[in-house]
Structure 1
Amino acid sequence: METTNEFERYQKAKKQVEDIKGFYGHLASYVLVMGLLIFINLRYTPQYLWFVWSMLGWGIGLFFHAMKVFNWFPFFNKEWEEKKIKQYMEEEKKTNKFE
């Protein structure tokens, strides 16, 4: 029993590390591509700073990716899901008692 629990903890930790690694890859590509877009924008059309829209759009996606990976969501994480599932199961059990 203990080895199964330890294996599950290992798998969970491994997935968390992979998620963090994926986020940093996402961040690195964001920085590189935005640097290239800024260069292109300032070199060829400095009168209109269009790179800001790309930076903003992708930045929002990057922000939500960070929130998910680093568990910054106050809800919608695994603990919240488990709690809600148990709550709904209990409510269903109570309502079916009287039927």
Structure 2
Amino acid sequence: METNRRNKQLIARKRVAQLKGFYIHATVYVLVNLFLTIVSVNSRMGNGESFNEALFDLDTFITPLFWGIGLAFHAVRVLGYSPFFSKDWEDRQIQKYMEEDRIHSEKYK
């Protein structure tokens, strides 16, 4: 009984650590990309571009875009959202393979 409680506590601690890591990642993403965007826009405006030209240039958003994709994958992993491989899907696959194994083993009885 005590071991079961300890295991649940370890799992909960691991989930909290993962969630904390995601929140730190998201905070760093926002702060660093805000800084990079400000520096990039300032630099481009110093080279004669207008504010709109500097802000809406693809080069301004390339780092946030790709880093954002990585952040999205991190969120999916930590928050457990998966439209393709949900817990229900896993359970169905397990049942399917167990049934296939049962049928296969009955062939050779």
TM range (shorter): 0.7 to 0.9
Please, which moves more after superposition, 51-60 or 70-79? 70-79
8 A Cα contact 1:27 1:62, kept in partner: yes
**Deviation digits for residues 15-37 of structure 1, max 9, x if unmatched?**
11011011011112101210121
Contiguous gaps of at least 5 residues in structure 2: 46-52
The correspondence of residues 1-99 of structure 1 with structure 2, limited to 5 A, is 2-46=1-45, 47-48=53-54, 49=57, 50-76=59-85, 80-81=89-90, 83=91, 84-99=93-108
User: Identity of paired residues, percent?
Assistant: 37
2:81 aligned counterpart, secondary structure: coil
Over aligned residue pairs, what C-alpha RMSD do you find? 2.2
What TM-score does the superposition give when structure 2 sets the normalisation length? Answer: 0.73
Q: What is the one-letter code of the residue matched to 2:63?
A: S
Normalised by the length of structure 1, the TM-score is 0.79
Shift of 1:93: 2.1
Q: Residues of 2 paired with 1:89 and 1:62: CA distance?
A: 36
- Separation of aligned partners in 2, 1:21 and 1:27: 10
CA-CA distance at 1:76 after TM superposition: 3.1
Count the aligned residue pairs.
97
Indicate the SS of the match to 1:10: helix
Q: 1:5 to 1:78 in 2, by over 3 A?
A: farther
Offset from partner CA, 1:41-81 (integer Å, 9 cap, x none): 10112445212121111112212211221122245356754
Secondary structure in 2 aligned to 1:45? helix
Give 5+ residue unaligned stretches, structure 1: none
Give the aligned residue type for 1:40. Answer: V
